Amino acid sequence: MSQTEQEERERLLELARFLRTRRERITPELAGLPSGGRRRTPGLRRGEIAMLAGVSVDWYTWLEQARNIKVSAQVLESLAGALRLDVNERKHLFLLALQQVPAPSEPLSSEATASLQSFLDLQGTSPAYLCDLRLNVIAWNRAAHLVYGDYSHMTMRERNSVWRTFTSPYVRQLLGQHWERHARHRLAQFRASYAKFAGDAWWLAFIEELTLISDEFRAWWPQHEVLEAPEGRKINYHPTAGTLIFDQVSFQVTGAPDLTVTVNMPFAGSGTEEKMRRLLQHAGPPGS
C-alpha cells in the first residue's frame, strides 16, 4: 500500500470512529425515539441515525465501516443534525469526509464579548478593531476611533469597511496616494468572504448598492480578485497627527471563526507611537 493510500485509509477510519462515538452518545430519549427496552450497545442504532438523517441504512453502515464512498455537503449537514454535532464537531466531520471546511451554519456574530472589547482596549496606541465576515466593524478601541472615525455615530452600513473605503471622503484623505492599493486589497478580502455566501440576499443587495454608488467598485468587482491576507505595512495621513505608519496583523477569534481581530501596530522608528500617544492625550478622556 502506498503512502497516499495509507493516508486515505487512515482518514476513512478516523471518520468511521468519529461517527460511531457521536452516535453512541445519543440516547433514544434525546433523539425523540422510543427506547425499545434494553440495548446491547450505548446510544442509537445505525438504522436510527440513518432514518433521522434521511439516508439508507446500508449507506450509513458503509461510512462506519470506513468504506470509500461518495458523500455530499447536503448529506453531511443531515448527519450533523441527526448526530447533534456542535460547531466544532460539524467542522471536524466536513474535514474528515470532504477535506474542506463547511460554510457557517449559525448566524453571523454581531457583538463583541466583554473580553474581546478589553483586548482591543488594551492595545493602547495601536488602533484595533473587530470585524465580522461581512467586514462590518463591530467593535473598536479608542485609538481606532481617533484615527479612522467615530464608529459609534455611524450606521452599520457606514461601519462596513468596504462601504467606507469606497464612499468616505475622509478615508480617501487618510490613505492619500495609497487609497487604490488599500481599496483593491479590501475588495479582494470581501470577495473571498462572499464565496461562503454567494447568492445570499444581504450580499446581493450590498453589491448592487455599491455598484451604483462607486465607479471603482463597479469596475473592479467583475475582476474576481481574491485575498485573505492582512494588509501588512499601512500608511495613514491623519489631519492632526500627521503621517502614521503601522504594521497590520489580523487573526480569527478562537470559538468564533466568523470574527477577525485587526491590530495596527505603530511601525518602530517611524515616530508613530509617540504621535499616537499625543493624539490620545490631546483628545481628552474617552467619551469627551
Whether 239 is covered by a domain: the verdict is: yes
Query: pLDDT tens for residues 135-144?
Result: 999 999 999 9
| CATH number of the CATH domain containing 163 | 3.30.450.180
Cβ proximity of 132 and 206 under 8 Å: no
Same domain? For 89 and 190 the reply is no
Whether 106 is covered by a domain: the verdict is: no
Calculate mean pLDDT across residues 242-255: 92
Most confident of 14-18, 47-51, 111-115, 215-219: 215-219
> Residues for the chain: how many in total?
288
Same domain? For 166 and 195 the reply is yes
Whether 54 is covered by a domain: the verdict is: yes
Within 126-243, where are the H helices? 142-148, 161-167, 169-175, 179-194, 201-213, 215-220
Distance CA 171, CA 179 (A): 8
Q: What residues have CB less than 8 Å from 177, skipping those under 6 apart?
A: none
Same domain? For 68 and 134 the reply is no
Domain that includes residue 199, residue range: 114-282
| Average pLDDT value for the chain | 87
Whether 26 is covered by a domain: the verdict is: yes
Same domain? For 272 and 130 the reply is yes
Same domain? For 123 and 262 the reply is yes
Using a cut of 0.75, tell me whether the model's pTM lies above it. Answer: no
Same domain? For 93 and 119 the reply is no
**Burial of 240 from C-beta contacts in 10 A (0-12 / 13-18 / 19+):** exposed
Same domain? For 122 and 88 the reply is no
Confidence of residue 191 (pLDDT cuts 50, 70, 90): confident
Q: What residues have CB less than 8 Å from 227, skipping those under 6 apart?
A: 185, 188, 189, 191, 192
Alpha-carbon distance values, 168 to 137, 171, 287 (Å): 15, 5, 23
Whether 69 is covered by a domain: the verdict is: yes
Same domain? For 138 and 268 the reply is yes
- 79, three cell numbers: 448527519
Distance CA 79, CA 60 (A): 9
Domains in the chain: how many in total?
2
Side-by-side strand order, sheet with 256-266? 137-140, 128-131, 256-266, 242-253, 233-238
Confidence of residue 106 (pLDDT cuts 50, 70, 90): low
- 230, three cell numbers: 492582512
Q: Whose CA is closest to 23, among 79, 69, 73?
A: 79
Name the residue with higher pLDDT: 235 or 255. Answer: 235
Distance CA 106, CA 118 (A): 25
Same domain? For 47 and 164 the reply is no
Query: pLDDT tens for residues 143-189?
Result: 999 999 999 999 999 999 999 999 999 999 999 999 999 999 999 88
Domain boundary among 98, 125, 151: 98
Domain boundary among 98, 122, 152: 98
Whether 80 is covered by a domain: the verdict is: yes
Whether 109 is covered by a domain: the verdict is: no
Whether 104 is covered by a domain: the verdict is: no
Alpha-carbon distance values, 177 to 26, 172, 181, 234, 266 (Å): 60, 9, 9, 12, 20
Q: Is it the case that residue 196 has pLDDT exceeding 90?
A: no
Same domain? For 43 and 75 the reply is yes
